[in-house]
Amino acid sequence: MINKAVLRYRAVILILLLAAFFSGYGYPLRPCRAEEANTGKPKKHMSIKPTDGAGAIEFPGRLEISGSYDALSPDSTYGNWKTFSLAYYHKERPELTWYAQASTFARKEGKGQLGAVGAYKTWNPSLSTFTSLSAGTRSDYLPRIRADHEFNFKVDPERSLGWSLGGTYMSYFDEHKDYIVYAGVSFPIKQYDINYRIFRNHSDPGAVISYSQLLSVGYGVDREQFTTLTYSVGKQAYLATYLATPEAVSNHSWMLTLNHRQWVESYNGFFWEISYFDLKDAYQKLGFSVGVFNEF
């Protein structure tokens, strides 16, 4: 007999496949900590390019509003998570875009807020960077302070084939700190954008080391629509200092995410995302988010 876990897994995969099919037609505990590695880092600001050959289209400002809901199992232990975010991007110069973002979280552990600022800078045809700094209010799941920096190198500027190097520092409201370094490669194939990254995480106290990998495939055209499927897998490891006798914890995890951005007009539209996350011996999470954006 097929158990409930297998049925739940098959249902999630079916939902993701159906969403991927219809997206092309839709015009009109501590284990939680490592998952927060992406909190506060927004999606990269999309380049603004003309799509009708009539000349450059310039929208220096963009406002995004979004909300998300995550259902966790077992919900009696973790409850459900809700998030609301507001972000503003501004293209200061052709080579420089900065942003500011504010998010509020509601979880069983309590409410929290996170603020972030950052910038994307193109230095020359072969080098661009991303830098951000974020800080959260006191909670068990948000960082007290987080810093990110990433270098993006184009090996072949004509085809945008490139690789990236980056790092993240996160300090929490207890004694825990994370130091993450990563490397990746990206390359386009016609209207597809393929990215691969490998991460090394050093968690203190205890100097606990873990690794994870990410593979994403995107398809679309800027100012029309863009869909991305992302799969990540690895370990979430840290020293559980909340136990009477601290011990290292290392849990296998994987995550599948599908997101879609749709332009309704050349300057506005909507986006959505569905995801499934599994942390072995801890919890499973099914998430959904939706938002709108407007450029001006």
- What would the pLDDT profile of 78-90 be if each residue is shown by its tens digit? 899 999 999 999 9
Q: What average pLDDT score do residues 104-125 get?
A: 96
Average pLDDT, the chain: 84
CATH of 4-295, one of 1.25.40.340, 3.30.470.10, 2.60.90.10, 2.40.160.40: 2.40.160.40
For residues 81 and 105, what is the distance between their CA atoms, to the nearest angstrom?
7
**For residue range 214-250, what is the model confidence (pLDDT) as tens digits?**
999 999 998 899 999 999 999 999 888 877 678 888 9
What pLDDT, on the 0 to 100 scale, is given for residue 46? 38
Cα–Cα distance list, 152 to 45, 59, 125, 130, 208 (Å): 14, 24, 11, 8, 28
- Decide: helix, strand or coil at residue 74: coil
Q: Which pLDDT value is given to residue 49?
A: 36
Amino acid at 223: R
Strand residue runs (E) in the chain: 61-73, 80-93, 96-107, 110-124, 127-136, 145-156, 161-171, 177-189, 192-204, 208-221, 225-240, 247-265, 268-279, 283-295
| pTM of full prediction above 0.85 | no
Residue 158 has pLDDT above 80, yes or no: no
**What share of the chain in percent tops pLDDT 70?**
79
